[in-house]
Amino acid sequence: MKLTIKTVWVLLLCITAKYSSAQTDIDAIMMEKNAFCVGPGYSYSSWKNYWEGAKKRENLNLGTVSTQMFAVMGNYGVSNKLNVLFNVPYVVTKASAGTLRGQSGLQDLSLMLKYRAINQKINNSRIALFGLLGGSLPMSNYNADLLPLSIGLQSKTAMARLMLDYYYDNKWFATASATYVYRSNVTLDRDSYYTDQFILSNEVKMPNATSYNIRAGYRTQWLIAEAVLNNWTTKGGFDITQNNMPFISNRMNATSLGANFKFVFRKLPQLSLTGGASHVVAGRNMGQSFNVNGAVFYVFDLNKKEKKDKQGTN
Amino acid sequence: MYINIKQITAAVLICVTVVSCSKEIAERTKNTPALNPANIDLNAGTWKPVLLSAPDEFAVAAPGAASGPGYTAELNEIKGYQKSMTGVQKERLNYWSAGAVFRWNEIMRGLVAKYNLPPFQNPDGTYPVPDANNPFNNPQFPFANPPYASRAYAYVSAAQYDALVAAWHYKKLYNRSAPYKINNTITTLLPQSDLPSYPSEDAVVVGVMIEMLKLFFPGEQATIQQLATEHKNARIMAGMNVRSDIEAGEALGRLVAQKFVTRARGDRAGAAVGTPAIWQQMETQTAATGEMPWISQESPKRPAMLPLFGRVRTWLFDSATLVTTVRPGPPPSTKSEKFKQEVAEVLHYSKNATRAELAIVHYWADGLATHTPPGHWNAIAADDFVGQRFSEVRWARNMALLNMSMMDAAIACWDAKFAYFNPRPSQVNPEIKTWTGLPNFPSYTSGHSTFSGAAATILGRIIPARKTAYENMAREASLSRLYGAIHYRSDCEEGLKCGNVIGGYAIARANLDGAN
């Protein structure tokens, strides 16, 4: 048997891609004070080819490996400058060939604080700077040691992100962000394991990671259409050896390209639809996955008394 | 600012604290204390060897006098090292002080894990066979799968044991004291003992490892030589041995190892891969009995792992005994009601295994890139032996008993697997999906169960206080394969019983080897 990575996808989805472009932790959109945006989302990703180290290959004993994610995500405006975001995903994995059973379960809860430090208008443009802090925590005792069919990595993460948004003529935008992700060690149901050396412990040292994200396109109150470039780089870790299974502390890198949209109903502006797709164009120790996703969001105004005292800040 | 600057500072501080947390792993044997035997087993030179005809089959010359200028020069080497020892050298000295048999067993488990990877298929869907003469090629040599690993552990342990019995014979014969006893200006950095130091027991083990690993891990010579040098020097630095103790020990270890290498070259393991004609014949003759034959579920179809390993030469009983006494009876017929029930039970676990059962599946899986089930039992034994404060020769004797049992278990299990050629549950019912990798060879009996039954039985003899614990572990390891949906209950139960029988032969040997 030999397997691959996929789980990272799940992790990546949590950390970066999220559902397209609706007030997530990776875009420049803020919820106004006391507004609560929440909704269900779904994503499907699959891959047939993967990178074993730098070598691209397929595995007939896995066929196509797919991951479905059902999630509830939300964003609450503590103030116009500070938002709290969460994501609760349920993940289902499956391999189309071979004998290994797919896995499913509640994966990792992620929480983010998003703070807009600068929001400066200059002529026709506006520049905004954001700082984000957050992390993720496994919500169930799922088994992380059967990649690529595990639903997650069991690592607790903490992350910090700096994000810059440039907005022109109230229509065109570009957003760039850089993220550092700390990943805690993970304990496996093992007595020992081999990375690039033999380790007599059940604890696995998890390398940290960085992520870069650039997105640009058209953005108004009613419609967003954007292209996204995302890179995830694990700082350390080791390559999958030939014909080996992937391991949670592999060096997992991926660069993906994608596009997203968001549509807001004019007759019911609280309601919006988002959707998107992305494809991995380069990677290491990861599946070359194609991902599609969609979500429905509804914004509740919890601002009972002082309604309309502040305008949406977009 | 809308948000309190204090809150931001606090958040940043938390972040920094988290990031700066050490992630270093505390490996469980890193700080194992220096070996300080409860009993030096001074008479171990009389213990019964495995292959040696007598403990003095290989001559070791008498050491030079401890009073001459030659010996003074040897003491000066120790003093020279101790004058300028670096932190790294001290750390390595402590590492090796935990025990020669213990550390080299650990090193070998690491090598097994590194090499426990199956060859990648050729473009035409066939598989290349690893070649000992080209260990670096694709595929690498060896594929250290469980039978291969069990054989490597057994030969190495048995050779260490014989070489140490010989060493103990000469230790008592020549009775040369350790340098710190001869000259009081020598500082010992490790526990002192009354064991004569010539030839050095550590160097005996080093000599054995150098020779044996040429055979089992030919691609690792550079690393082995480096470790060997480090180990030998560590003993001199520690003031435990002079260079001539080391040289005599290494030479003895190498000579004894040669005898085991010769046995290994003729034990039929080299032919265990079989041929396409033999593979086909196994399938055809099982089908002819009306039973469903095993078929590889890998894609492309991979030839079964070492189909003729059941014909390899055993340690504890002969080949006639293997077939007449040790081999389990046939599995339930694939047409029987009992078989149907067992398939249904596997399907149940395939769909409903609990998280606790899955933890058991993964703890005992010992699949690709691990030290294999025999390696896992070596780890269990080693962790317990540390607490027993065995002498090096007793360590080796106990490891030899354990590993000869497990190699014989591999032989007996593979004999049964290819005699009955029984299909895996997931072959019989494609609805059965597995929680762990499906091994590419017939189902009956379970290798994990046979290894574990043998290991638990002999370990229960070595440390009687842990007998029940070992039996429980073996039962859990055995059932882990049913929970993982890759074995029927019969495979597990009959494998465990067969392992127990083999462990009984090891106990019989232990009762008569003179070490009690």
Query: Got the DSSP string for A67-118?
Result: EEEEEEEEEEESSSSEEEEEEEEEEEEEESSSSBPP-EEE-EEEEEEEEEEE
Closest-CA residue of chain A to B431: A99
pLDDT in tens, A22-50: 568 888 899 999 999 999 999 999 999 99
Pick B27's closest partner by Cβ from A113, A194, A200: A200
Q: Say yes or no for a CB contact (<8 Å) between A1 and B28.
A: no
For residues B406 and B505, the answer to whether their CB atoms sit within 8 Å is no
What pLDDT score was predicted for residue A219?
Answer: 96
> What does the alpha-carbon distance between residue B38 and residue B44 come to, in Å, rounded to a whole number?
14
Question: Which positions in chain A touch B426 (Cβ < 8 Å)?
Answer: 99
Res A12: pLDDT: 40
| Each residue's pLDDT tens digit, A153-162 | 999 999 999 9
Share of chain A above pLDDT 70, in %: 89
Site from B18, B137, B429 to mutate, A interface, most A CB atoms within 10 angstroms: B18
Q: Which residues of chain B have pLDDT under 70?
A: 1-21
Residues B196/B204, Cβ–Cβ less than 8 Å: no
Average pLDDT over residues A171-191: 97
Q: Of all helices (H) and strands (E), which one includes residue B341?
A: helix B337-352
A52-78 pLDDT per residue, tens? 999 999 999 999 999 999 999 999 999
* Cα(B387)–Cα(B39) distance, integer angstroms: 13
- Among chain A residues, the shortest Cα distance to B352 is held by A101
pLDDT at residue B22, as a whole number: 79
pLDDT above 90 (res A267): yes
User: Are the Cβ atoms of B379 and A191 closer than 8 angstroms?
Assistant: yes
**Eight-state DSSP code of residue B273:** T
Provide the 8-state DSSP code for B434. Answer: B
Burial A134-162 (b: 16+ CB within 10 A, else e): bbbebeeebbbbbbbbbbbbbbbbbbbbe
Give the pLDDT score at B66: 87
Of B120, B360, B370, the CB nearest to A193: B370
What residue of B is the nearest CA neighbor of A101?
Answer: B433
Q: Residue A63: CA atoms inside 13 Å, Cβ hemisphere, count? A: 12
Residue A73 phi/psi, 5° resolution? -130, 155
Among residues A1, A15, A9, A7, the alpha carbon closest in space to that of A182 is found at A15
Global pTM reads 0.93
- Token pair for B28: 């469980």
Closest partner CB to A191 (pick from B299, B358, B376): B376
Q: What pLDDT, on the 0 to 100 scale, is given for residue B21?
A: 63
Give the mean model confidence (pLDDT) for residues A119-135: 96
The nearest CA of chain B is from the CA of A221 a distance in Å of: 25
Residue of A113, A185, A198 with shortest CB distance to B109 = A198
Q: How much is the mean pLDDT over chain A? A: 90
Q: What is the pLDDT of residues A197-228, one digit of tens each?
A: 999 999 999 999 999 999 999 999 999 999 99
* Residue of B25, B359, B380 lying closest to A199 (CB–CB): B25
Between CA B484 and CA A99 the distance in angstroms is: 11
Confidence (pLDDT) at A24: 80
What is the average pLDDT across A265-283? 96
- Whether ipTM tops 0.95, in short, is no
Scanning every residue of chain A, which has its alpha carbon at the shortest distance from the alpha carbon of B425? Answer: A99
Cβ-defined contact of A79 to B3 (cutoff 8 Å): yes
